[in-house]
Amino acid sequence: MSKLIKNLGFKVNHGPLDVQKLAQVIEDAYASYNEIVHTKKKSFAPSKIGYGSGKCPRYWYIAFEGAPFDNTKDPHSIANMKTGIAAHDRLGDLFKRSKLEVEAIEYELSHEDPPIFGFVDVIINRAGERVVGEIKTTKAEAFAARQAKMTAPDYHMIQILIYMYVLEAESGFFLYENKNTHDLLVIPVYMDEKNKKLVEDTFAWMRQAKGLWEEKKLPTRPFTRKSKECKDCPVSAVCWDGETYGDGDIDVEPLRLL
């Protein structure tokens, strides 16, 4: 029986329609989204840098070198991603329809040193100052945690802080949507001295990671093969195959945001 379709509401194999096969065909269609594509990165992505393999200097070495990226996901993960994209577009459209002075939606942001490329969800002009906004969707449990603490996770924070730093914006915000109820939560972000230092330390780490690739000094693996960082890494197979890359030339700490 399909892992996604739990309850079909009527007996399986009742009548001319083989419901079990139909359910499986629908689920199998998710595989069409999966692919392995040779990718060569030229810049860091703010949405990636603080999460999972994005914290690994060895990942970035391989990414800048170029490698087959395995983007295979299970059906639930693909469904979650697609739902998030649709919600993101819907919420972005709300800003266009609002009375706010919206400067840009999906603003293309780039930075030279360190090389950064990404898209800012929304930029608002408030009294002549730019305010940077990031749209996120999350499950009810995580939404409740965000609401209770009025803070975002560190990998979300570094993303918006990089945008704010490059755009020289002093203020920003997260717009979180509860996937279960569609409730909205706004969490403000400010570029104080602590956050500015966090961005500058992250930039220094990024420059080091890019410099190691330029000098062809391969970092050792900072995580175990069973770690979440490696299990979710798109270049894990290449990193661990023992043929394409060796164990590494230099120990480098992974990016730490706390």
Average pLDDT over residues 59-75: 94
3-state secondary structure 54-71: HHCHHHHHHHHHCEEEEC
Across the range 47-54, mean pLDDT stands at 95
Confidence band of 3 (pLDDT split at 50, 70, 90): low
Q: Where are the domains of the chain?
A: 34-240
Mean pLDDT of 18-40: 87
* 65 in Cβ contact with 55 (< 8 Å): no
Q: Which residues are 119's β-sheet partners?
A: 108
Task: Read off the pLDDT band of 76 (50, 70, 90).
Answer: confident
* Contact (Cβ atoms closer than 8 angstroms) between residue 196 and residue 223: no
Burial class (CB in 10 A: 0-12, 13-18, 19+), 143: buried
Look at residue 79 and tell me whether its pLDDT is greater than 80: yes
> Is the pLDDT reported for residue 20 higher than 50?
yes
**Contact (Cβ atoms closer than 8 angstroms) between residue 122 and residue 159:** no
Strand runs (DSSP E) across the chain, as ranges? 36-39, 67-70, 102-111, 116-126, 129-138, 171-178, 184-190
Task: Report pTM.
Answer: 0.90
Closest CA to 44 of 137, 138, 166: 166
Tell the burial category of 208 from Cβ atoms under 10 Å away from its Cβ (0-12, 13-18, 19+).
Answer: middle
pLDDT of the residue at 1: 42
Q: Are the C-beta atoms of residues 103 and 123 closer than 8 Å to each other?
A: yes
Residue 258 banded pLDDT, cuts 50, 70, 90: confident
Which pLDDT belongs to residue 4?
Answer: 63
Share of the chain above pLDDT 90, in %: 79
Give CA torsion, residues 78, 79, 83, 85, to 10 deg. 10
Q: How confident is the model at residue 15 (pLDDT cuts 50, 70, 90)?
A: low
CB 19 within 8 A of CB 8: yes
Cα dihedral 208/211/215/221 (nearest 10): 50
Q: Taking the domain 34-240, which CATH number applies?
A: 3.90.320.10
Q: How confident is the model at residue 28 (pLDDT cuts 50, 70, 90)?
A: confident
**Average model confidence (pLDDT) for the chain?**
92
pLDDT score for 22: 81
Query: Which DSSP helix (H) or strand (E) runs through 162?
Result: helix 154-167
pLDDT tens digits, 216-244: 999 999 999 999 999 999 999 999 998 89
For the record, the structure tokens of 88 come out as: 């993101």
Residue-wise pLDDT for 161-196, tens only, equals 999 999 999 999 999 999 999 999 999 999 999 999
